[in-house]
């Protein structure tokens, strides 16, 4: 076999490499190498064959870096890092290594298609952190994290199983230095401040790049962007990332914003010390969200039952327990609706007994509204059922309107009509506390030698105005 003259992909297609890898097609091309789809001739196993470009083969530094990538990957044994099977150099001068073949799509494609749900994003974020934690434990720093280098494959029913790849510019502990002082490696949009300055990097540089990936997954855009390379590096070094603007379907991911912002601290010492700490933070945020979801299920049950939605309410709540993102109407027709304990379901009883299946299939997903108050901490109730303390998110009624009351001790309550349409956030400004009633002045009769001092009897204190009486005052919350 002769040495391939072509520096790019098509040159090896149809050839047998190292006597055992039959090259079928080109999968991709990078700065150092070309990746082919190949089949092991004896085993019939499909693999990814990465070959050093011929025009780079005579550059000793590039060749050593190519070898270093293979060694780096071989040191990491983790399900979320691509696995290396073989490495070598043929008699014809072809330097290669063999990796597991990955079907699926890149994280870049998933972000571009806007196809990731909040649940997907949480799982992907944790999986990337776990893979990088394993890499760092093996003494490998990636240094070029970006969505293009994260692949999503189908594995055990999971269509977004993470595989981290392309460790071509990885820094490996114990390996001789292959870069010049001040050399910049990485992709500018995902580069840490220390990378942008050409400084030495450690695991916290990968944490910064990871923070940018999380930011982009959640918001759909990059925190820093510019047509100017110099300006982009300046942003990475000096500019604070803008607050994350969340679409309604991504609002549950707001709990991840503090994690993202800590990853994006300009000083490496202000970031997480390692990915184990990132994983712990992700798990805490998910636990809080899960707890809030359980509360939301109960609150949604209370609102729907109080609104007289019958079997639809129970079908809705039953299906909600299978997801951590939204309250969805998808109860199986064979499942009998079971009301939650704290819910007052009497108004819905006739409907449940009469048409349990037909009603459940007709349920629509409710619109949610977040109710806030000024000052916060007010009780929100519907027809006597307390839904929570502000700020609280509740579902709107499907049809018509219901009277919702917001009340804080010592202040007149606000009562207003809540219908099926309107803004997704509602601020209720509560009036000042009621003035305390003034006690009547005590009077004393003129003093005589025979008549003792008498004090006029206290009149009864006025009865405080009750919430029920004030509840008849309907206030338009949007008018203030």
Sequence-distant (6+) residues with CB within 8 A of 186 are: 143, 144, 169, 192, 195, 209
The Cβ of residue 30 has, within 10 Å, a number of other Cβ atoms equal to 13
- Give the DSSP H or E segment for 170: none
Bridge pairing between strands 46-52 and 95-100: antiparallel
Q: Count how many residues are written for the chain.
A: 480
Half-sphere exposure (CA, 13 Å, Cβ side) for 362? 10
Reading across the β-sheet that carries 158-164, which strands appear in turn?
Answer: 105-106, 150-155, 158-164
At residue 277, φ and ψ (nearest 5 deg) are -70, -35
Question: Is 104:158 a contact under the CB 8 Å cutoff?
Answer: no
Bridge pairing between strands 21-29 and 33-40: antiparallel
CA dihedral 174, 179, 180, 181 (to 10 degrees): -60
- Chain centre distance of CA 280: 14
Preceding peptide of 86 cis, ω within 30°? no
- In DSSP notation, 225-252 reads --S-HHHHHHHHHHPPPPPP---GGGGG
Sequence-distant (6+) residues with CB within 8 A of 226 are: 232, 235
Angle value at C-alpha 70, between 67 and 71, nearest 5 degrees = 85
- Give the DSSP H or E segment for 384: none
Give the DSSP letter of residue 373. Answer: E
Question: Quick one: 198 exposed, middle or buried, by C-beta within 10 A (0-12, 13-18, 19+)?
Answer: middle
Per-residue CA distances from 278 to 274, 394, 442 (Å): 7, 31, 68
Unique residue bearing structure tokens 């983790």: 78
Bridge pairing between strands 33-40 and 46-52: antiparallel
Coil/strand/helix, residue 393: strand
Catalytically active residues are 144
The Cβ of residue 383 has, within 10 Å, a number of other Cβ atoms equal to 16
């Amino acid at each position: 076999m002769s040495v391939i003259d072509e520096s790019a992909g098509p040159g090896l297609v149809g050839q047998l490499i190292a006597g055992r890898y039959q090259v079928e097609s080109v999968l991709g091309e990078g700065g150092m190498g070309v990746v082919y789809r190949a089949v092991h001739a004896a085993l019939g196993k499909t693999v990814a064959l990465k070959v050093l470009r011929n025009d780079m083969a005579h550059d000793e530094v590039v060749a050593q870096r190519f070898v270093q990538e293979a060694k780096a990957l071989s040191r990491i044994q983790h399900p979320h890092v691509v696995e290396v099977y073989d490495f070598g150099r043929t008699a014809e001068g072809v330097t290669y290594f063999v990796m597991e073949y990955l079907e699926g799509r890149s994280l870049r494609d998933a972000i571009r298609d806007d196809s990731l749900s909040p649940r997907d994003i949480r799982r992907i974020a944790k999986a990337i952190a776990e893979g990088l934690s394993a890499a760092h434990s093996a003494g490998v720093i990636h240094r070029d994290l970006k969505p293009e280098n994260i692949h999503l494959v189908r594995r055990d029913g999971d269509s977004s199983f993470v595989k981290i790849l392309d460790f071509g510019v990885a820094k490996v502990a114990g390996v001789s230095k292959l870069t010049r002082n001040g050399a910049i490696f990485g992709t500018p949009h995902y580069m840490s401040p220390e990378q942008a300055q050409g400084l030495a990097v450690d695991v916290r540089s990968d944490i910064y790049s990871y923070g940018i990936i999380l930011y982009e997954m959640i918001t759909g855009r990059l925190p820093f962007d510019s047509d100017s390379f110099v300006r982009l590096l300046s942003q990475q070094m000096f500019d604070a990332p803008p607050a994350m603007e969340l679409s309604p379907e991504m609002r549950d991911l707001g709990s991840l914003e503090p994690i993202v912002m800590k990853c994006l601290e300009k000083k490496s010492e202000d970031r997480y010390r390692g990915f184990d700490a990132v994983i712990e933070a992700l798990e805490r945020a998910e636990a809080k969200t899960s707890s809030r979801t359980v509360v939301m299920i109960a609150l949604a049950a209370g609102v729907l039952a109080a609104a007289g939605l019958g079997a639809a309410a129970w079908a809705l709540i039953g299906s909600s327990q299978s997801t951590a993102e939204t309250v969805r109407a998808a109860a199986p027709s064979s499942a009998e609706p079971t009301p939650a304990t704290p819910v007052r379901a009497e108004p819905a009883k006739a409907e449940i007994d009469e048409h349990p299946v037909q009603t459940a299939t007709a349920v629509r997903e409710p619109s949610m509204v977040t109710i806030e108050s000024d000052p916060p901490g007010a009780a929100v109730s519907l027809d006597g059922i307390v839904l929570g303390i502000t700020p609280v998110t509740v579902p709107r009624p499907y049809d018509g309107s219901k009277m919702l009351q917001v009340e804080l001790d010592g202040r007149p309550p606000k009562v207003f009509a809540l219908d099926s349409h309107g803004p997704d956030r509602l601020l209720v400004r509560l009036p000042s506390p009621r003035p305390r009633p003034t006690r009547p002045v005590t009077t004393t009769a003129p003093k005589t030698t025979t008549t003792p001092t008498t004090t006029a009897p206290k009149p009864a204190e006025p009865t405080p105005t009750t919430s029920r009486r004030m509840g008849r005052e309907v206030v338009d919350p949007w008018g203030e």
